[in-house]
Amino acid sequence: MKGAEGMATESEAWTGTLEALVESHLKSDGIGTMSADNPLSSGAADEEVHEVISQIVQKFNTVSDMMDKKPKMIAKSAYTLGDQVEMLPCSENSDILVFVQASGQVTTGGRSTMTFFIGGPTDGAAVFVTMADAKTGEILCQMRLQTPAEFIHNVESAFGQHLDEELVNMNIGSARKNAKARGH
């Protein structure tokens, strides 16, 4: 048996696929998207934009840890990224910021066999889609999508329907109308 191995190449590919999945589902619900690192017409240098993004991501990681411990506090507007989000060039033309986080585990064939007989870790992944107000930084919602199934090669089948259901539950964009059209 092998110990834990990093899957850097697969992780990078999966990251891009997840971002594209969330973006495509938001767009299909009538929500326009733009990248936070696009300087637009702000006149900000790429370096300045990336510094602000880095600071906001650092603050988000801190807040994310608190949200994991007390997720019900999101509904009580207990978490914020601060007014610093207004410094993002995209903030002027945006209503929300969307953060996509994920973690997953894939077991080897030998580990899967051992898990079958004596228990232990199994394949699975969790995706967290968090939305924050682009002007105030207040965390508005967090969607938790989990799957124990094959998730690396077909992200759409692993998370797509669950993401659509969460968007419908939150009444985001035209999600309700699109869900009815899709038969959900």
From first to last of its 184 residues, what are the pLDDT tens digits of the chain?
A: 344 555 677 777 778 888 888 999 888 888 888 877 666 655 667 788 888 889 999 999 999 999 989 989 998 989 999 888 888 888 888 888 999 888 877 665 555 555 555 655 556 788 899 999 988 999 999 998 887 666 766 788 888 888 888 888 887 766 555 555 555 5
- Given this model, what pLDDT does residue 130 score? 92
- Given this model, what pLDDT does residue 147 score? 78
- Cα angle at 130 between 126 and 132, to 5 degrees? 170
- Given this model, what pLDDT does residue 152 score? 67
Name the residue among 137, 167, 123 with its Cα closest to residue 21: 167
Report the predicted TM-score, pTM, of the whole model to 2 decimal places: 0.76
Name the residue among 183, 170, 164 with its Cα closest to residue 26: 164
- Distances 34 to 39, 59, 90, 96, 155 between C-alpha atoms, Å: 11, 21, 7, 11, 21
